[in-house]
Structure 1
Amino acid sequence: MPVTAQEALRITRVLEDELDKRQAKIKLWNDFYVGKHNLEWASDRFRQAFGGLFANFSDNWCEVVCSAPAERLVPVGFRFGTGDDKDPPAADKDAQRIWQASSMDAWARVAHTEAMVKSRAFVLVWVEDPEAVDAEPEITVEDATQCVVVYEPGSRRRRKAALKRWDGEDGYTYATLYLPDEIWKWRRSSSVSGLVLPASLTSGWQPRGDDPDQIRIDNPLKRVPMVELRNRPRLIDDPSPEHINVMPLQGAANKLVIDMLTASEGGAFPARWGAGIDLPKDPLTGQEIDDPEMWRLSVSKMLRASNPQAKFGNFEAADLRNFVAGITMITEHISALSRTPPTYFMGKVENVAADALTASEAGLTSKCGEKTTFLGEDWEEVVRLAFLVKGDTKRGNNPLAETIWRDVAYRTEAQHIDAVLKKKALGVPWRQLMEDAGYTPTQIDRMEAMLEKDAERAARALAFGGMGGEPPEDVPADVPEAEEVPA
């Protein structure tokens, strides 16, 4: 139901407040992902002595934990079921064209990474001119710091409203409110003489553009066109980033590595001692001369003593293996908590059987399979919105949509093909085998067309071979009588 401008402004402010509340957490999660870690486990004394030296240091495992599942989540196509078991649906070619027209084969991976890092990512489906006959939908990935979606009370699926807010380069902050029946567009001044001001000090939202009537446009989709991709969704709690449990261990790992580097500095130049050394005396005062330069050793200097009982030595350096053991324990805990395979944390892998490597990835494979279930529902809604933009209400409202994913499990080529051959022996259809082998629907269609052409050439060769000649290239395969062609 349409709302008044005053009600639309109230909804905008409510969503903006919710968006502002999320900013601090999102920044913290993103800082850990990119390696901006503070020395949270360091003492004040350590900060004073070495804080400047290690201010930008990080042994960053958060990036590995977030990227490991994100890189395996690859949508390769969509199906729309018909409800008829006798006619199993194939990959939808129109959905594939829309998907690739918006470069989503690349940007979907960015959306997954953003969801792993910031707990949420957003996808907007819209068109410049909804009234155009040949309107083509545009799918874009949006950032969690700029977007927010709210749902109907008691529902986790029915979107009530969405807001996108961003800063322009012209000194204005822009906002677009998406409602099921209408779209509201606002802007407000965000700078004075080039200085960016906080939202609390800026003027209120005003209609965007010179024409006040442009502030509102109808939403022909009758559905909020922004979809939220949630990582690790919960019933009541908010979704969380992939590295939320790893962040404290990340700080501990940084501390141990820094301590090891600091100890290695002392180990490279161990403290020395001397006993029974007769120091030279000042001939005028008779006092011993303790010249610091006398004890500064180098390759060209040697210590000597007149006392035959004098002794020299150096203190034993710290054993750095103790630090290595602690760092190894921390990374093992990170691996267990995040279900990231231990091989992702090793510099090298030696004498590990293929079956053992496969077993070590079971946790990550299971986690990625779970993510495809939830993210697949979101991508299906995105494609349905794209068809609504084109006026296709049949596919736009089809509840039997399905996302086709690339296999999330890692296998060697030999293991993969062996599994496909065993499935073939069980009677699995050819197209399903090709999907299991990792080919995209577009590749499968291309291979199917190539197989049909190969079969036509083989049929012509057999038919004309019986006549003692080669088939001309321009003769169709159905020139000889079909019953004379061997099966």
Structure 2
Amino acid sequence: MTAVPLTKDETDTLLRLKSRLDRDARDHWVNNQRVPGFKSLRHYYDGLQRLEQLGLAVPEDLRKFTTIVAWPRTYVDAVVSRLRPQGFLLDGEADAEMWRRWQANNLDGEFRMALVDMLVCGRGYLCVGTNEDDAGTPLITVESPLEMIHEWSNRYRKVTVAARFYSEDVAGRKVPKAVLYYPDATIWITMEAGQWEQEGERDEHNLGRVPVHPLVNRGTSDDRYGTSEIIPIIGLTDAAARALTNAQVATEVMALPQRYAAGMTAADFKDPDTGEALSAWESYFGAVWATSSKDAKFGQFSAADLSNFKTIVEMYAGLVANVTRLPMRYFVLRGGSGDAPSEGSIRAEEEGLIGICEEKQEFASDGLEDTQRTADRLVTGEIDLLLVEMVTDWRSPATPTLAQAADGAVKLHAQGLFSRREALRTMGKSPKQIQVIETELREEAFDPITAALAAQVTGNGSTAPAVSQ
């Protein structure tokens, strides 16, 4: 297949995006401050960061004592675990087709990866494409910010162009590849002889929008590309890791009482059977030290108190809890004694975390809803203006008991403030579960035994009808 050269504008756009992606992926400096790149941020999330001591790398001899603190993962996973879409609403009703597309693309599980990218790197990506096997179900994929980059128009509040860079194995060698996404066309690109060239036919889809939708965390008016959620706690995480590493070294050499012996000779540290000299560790840990010297003296120093390390780590944990608004119990190991926290105290502790989660729902909703609009446009070929009013339906990030959720939903339904479907959504039921429940309720309405039991429970009847055996 003959490669087609890119136009100058396409080449310039591709190189510009590649330069930005490379910069974001590695550590760089802004206003004399080191900004960790995506790769470093992922290392912190994965617990693979390289610990430094006072600006100097940990000496190789002590590296085996290095203890990494996983607080960035603790924070991110605590938030992501509470971000669960359960449908898309139009005119207050769940749209079954949109939810079908969601499940057909396995986004119940895969969307979590986009949320982790959004919080760790500052942005994640959802990409919409044609499904050759099912034209009515467009492909919706999660793409890594280490491979994908976009440009944003503040005026039009939309993505103007995007690109994905990756590599493929071809005849045993890695060949750089790229995909360039424009509002009306998608171009597949490969590198030949050091030059980017078009590969195959471009897809003239004429969508009128770039089929790439970023999920941006903490975008600002002067930076619409997002900021990592874990940057503010990186310094505290490293400080705690240094304290724990020092504690490891101190435990190794100071946790046991140091012993001393004066007035002894080398002959006193020989094996009585073989006459061979004992090793340093055998001499130190020997159960009995004995000598015939009348001038010999024995004794031991007090063991070092290592509790100060616990105090230091807990101080850092408290600072991280203040920044992240997570309850302190996420960072400090609780003892096995004492009363379990009450539901009220748990709710009070989690107010900050719930607020953070609701904020993240707002950040992610724009990208989710744009993704569904693009998928609908790809199927119908038309712009549905009603989809502008689409709302993402999120499960509550709070952790009420089932009894609390049911009690609140029933009361609001009884007062006419909630429909039955809204009450079920409040209880965390998905659109599919609601559909099953409504079907079962209709079936029960025609079952005389079930209807009689329901009447007794609700007080709408006094006795159940007799049933012949």
TM-score (norm 1): 0.80
Q: In the TM superposition, what is the alpha-carbon distance from 1:322 to its structure 2 partner? A: 0.4
Report the counterpart of residue 331 of structure 2 in structure 1: 345
Q: Residues 180 and 430 (structure 1 numbering): CA distance in 2 closer, same or farther, change over 3 Å?
A: same
User: What are the within-5 Å matches in structure 2 for residues 199-278 of structure 1?
Assistant: 203-209=194-200, 214=201, 216-237=202-223, 238-275=225-262, 277=263
Q: In the TM superposition, what is the alpha-carbon distance from 1:442 to its structure 2 partner? A: 1.0
Q: Distance in 2 between matches of 1:293 and 1:348?
A: 41
Gaps of 5+ in 2: 1-5, 27-36, 268-276, 453-462
Q: Distance in 2 between matches of 1:457 and 1:316?
A: 79
Q: 1:9 aligns with which of 8, 11, 16?
A: 11
Q: Distance in 2 between matches of 1:273 and 1:205?
A: 72
Q: In the TM superposition, what is the alpha-carbon distance from 1:424 to its structure 2 partner? A: 3.3
Q: Residues 45 and 206 (structure 1 numbering): CA distance in 2 closer, same or farther, change over 3 Å?
A: closer
Alignment check: 8 A CA contact 1:137 1:386 kept: yes
Alignment check: 8 A CA contact 2:327 2:350 kept: yes
Query: What SS does structure 2 have at the residue aligned with 1:73?
Result: coil
Q: In the TM superposition, what is the alpha-carbon distance from 1:121 to its structure 2 partner? A: 0.7
Q: In the TM superposition, what is the alpha-carbon distance from 1:278 to its structure 2 partner? A: 6.5
After superposition, give the CA deviation of every residue in 1:296-333 in whole Å (9 maximum; x if it has no partner).
Answer: 244453234543x7542122222110001001111111
Gaps of 5+ in 1: 82-88, 190-201, 282-290, 472-487
Q: Residues 120 and 468 (structure 1 numbering): CA distance in 2 closer, same or farther, change over 3 Å?
A: closer
Report the counterpart of residue 84 of structure 1 in structure 2: none
Alignment check: 8 A CA contact 2:444 2:451 kept: no
Matched, 1:126 2:126: no
Alignment check: 8 A CA contact 2:129 2:140 kept: yes
Q: Could you tell me which amino acid in structure 1 is paired with residue 240 of structure 2? A: A
Q: Residues 373 and 470 (structure 1 numbering): CA distance in 2 closer, same or farther, change over 3 Å?
A: farther
Q: Distance in 1 between matches of 2:163 and 2:57?
A: 46
Report the counterpart of residue 22 of structure 2 in structure 1: 20
Q: In the TM superposition, what is the alpha-carbon distance from 1:293 to its structure 2 partner? A: 6.6
User: What are the within-5 Å matches in structure 2 for residues 148-227 of structure 1?
Assistant: 148-155=149-156, 157-170=157-170, 171-189=174-192, 203-209=194-200, 214=201, 216-227=202-213
Q: Distance in 2 between matches of 1:58 and 1:14?
A: 37
Q: Distance in 1 between matches of 2:131 and 2:197?
A: 22
Report the counterpart of residue 358 of structure 1 in structure 2: 347
Report the counterpart of residue 137 of structure 1 in structure 2: 138
Q: Distance in 2 between matches of 1:126 and 1:336?
A: 42
Report the counterpart of residue 195 of structure 1 in structure 2: none
Q: 1:371 aligns with which of 352, 360, 365?
A: 360
Q: Distance in 2 between matches of 1:457 and 1:184?
A: 60
Q: In the TM superposition, what is the alpha-carbon distance from 1:253 to its structure 2 partner? A: 0.8
Q: In the TM superposition, what is the alpha-carbon distance from 1:91 to its structure 2 partner? A: 0.3
Q: Distance in 2 between matches of 1:354 and 1:468?
A: 44
Report the counterpart of residue 35 of structure 1 in structure 2: 47
Query: What SS does structure 2 have at the residue aligned with 1:144?
Result: coil
Alignment check: 8 A CA contact 1:119 1:240 kept: yes
Q: Distance in 1 between matches of 2:450 and 2:265?
A: 107
User: What are the within-5 Å matches in structure 2 for residues 288-437 of structure 1?
Assistant: 296-304=283-291, 306-307=293-294, 311-348=297-334, 350-351=338-339, 352-391=341-380, 393=382, 395=384, 398-427=387-416, 428-437=418-427
Q: Residues 48 and 17 (structure 1 numbering): CA distance in 2 closer, same or farther, change over 3 Å?
A: closer
Q: Distance in 2 between matches of 1:258 and 1:444?
A: 52
User: What are the within-5 Å matches in structure 2 for residues 429-468 of structure 1?
Assistant: 429-458=419-448
Alignment check: 8 A CA contact 1:74 1:405 kept: yes
Q: 2:88 aligns with which of 61, 78, 81?
A: 78
After superposition, give the CA deviation of every residue in 1:236-260 in whole Å (9 maximum; x if it has no partner).
Answer: 1341112111111111111111111
Q: Distance in 1 between matches of 2:279 and 2:212?
A: 72
Q: Residues 348 and 457 (structure 1 numbering): CA distance in 2 closer, same or farther, change over 3 Å?
A: same
Alignment check: 8 A CA contact 1:152 1:158 kept: yes
Q: Residues 440 and 310 (structure 1 numbering): CA distance in 2 closer, same or farther, change over 3 Å?
A: same
Q: Residues 154 and 297 (structure 1 numbering): CA distance in 2 closer, same or farther, change over 3 Å?
A: same
Q: 2:120 aligns with which of 98, 117, 120?
A: 117
Q: Distance in 2 between matches of 1:278 and 1:127?
A: 85
Q: Could you tell me which amino acid in structure 1 is paired with residue 229 of structure 2? A: E
Q: In the TM superposition, what is the alpha-carbon distance from 1:135 to its structure 2 partner? A: 4.2
Q: Distance in 2 between matches of 1:188 and 1:46?
A: 41
After superposition, give the CA deviation of every residue in 1:47-88 in whole Å (9 maximum; x if it has no partner).
Answer: 15413x135x4122111011111111111110123xxxxxxx
